[in-house]
Homo-oligomer: A and B are copies of this chain.
Amino acid sequence: MKEKIDIIENRLKELIPKNSSYQKALFEAASYSLLSSGKRLRPLLVLATLEAFNKDINLALDPAISLELIHTYSLIHDDLPCMDDDDFRRGKPSLHKAYPEWLAVLTGDYLLTYAFEIITNAKNLDDTKKVKLIRALTKYSGGDGLIAGQVVDLSYEGKEIEFEKLKFMHLNKTAKLFMAAIEFGCIISDASDDITKKFVEFAENMGLAFQFFDDIADYDDEKSSDITKNKATAPAVLGIEKAKVFAIDLQKRALDILNALPYDTAILEEITSKIS
Contact = CB atoms under 8 A, between A and B. Distances in A.
Contact of A154 (B103, B117, B120): B103
Interface majority SS on A: helix, strand, loop or mixed? helix
Interface in A56-81: 73-74, 77, 80-81
Contacts of A19: 143-144
Given A23-B148, A26-B143, A138 B109 contact: no
Given A105-B82, A147-B26, A168-B22, A142 B127 contact: no
A224 interface: no
Given A114-B143, A143-B113, A150 B120 contact: no
A113 B127 CA distance: 19
B23 A110 contact: no
A22 B170 CA distance: 13
A96 B82 CA distance: 10
A100 B102 CA distance: 18
Interface stretch (A46-54, A129-137, A208-216, A242-250): A129-137
Contacts of A109: 73-74, 77, 108-109, 112, 147
A191 interface: no
13 contacts: A22-B151, A25-B151, A26-B143, A77-B109, A81-B82, A82-B105, A105-B105, A110-B143, A113-B142, A113-B147, A117-B139, A127-B130, A130-B131
Interface of A: 17, 19, 21-23, 25-27, 30, 73-74, 77, 80-83, 96, 100-103, 105-106, 108-110, 112-114, 116-117, 120-121, 126-128, 130-131, 134-135, 137-139, 141-144, 147-148, 150-152, 154-155, 165, 168-169
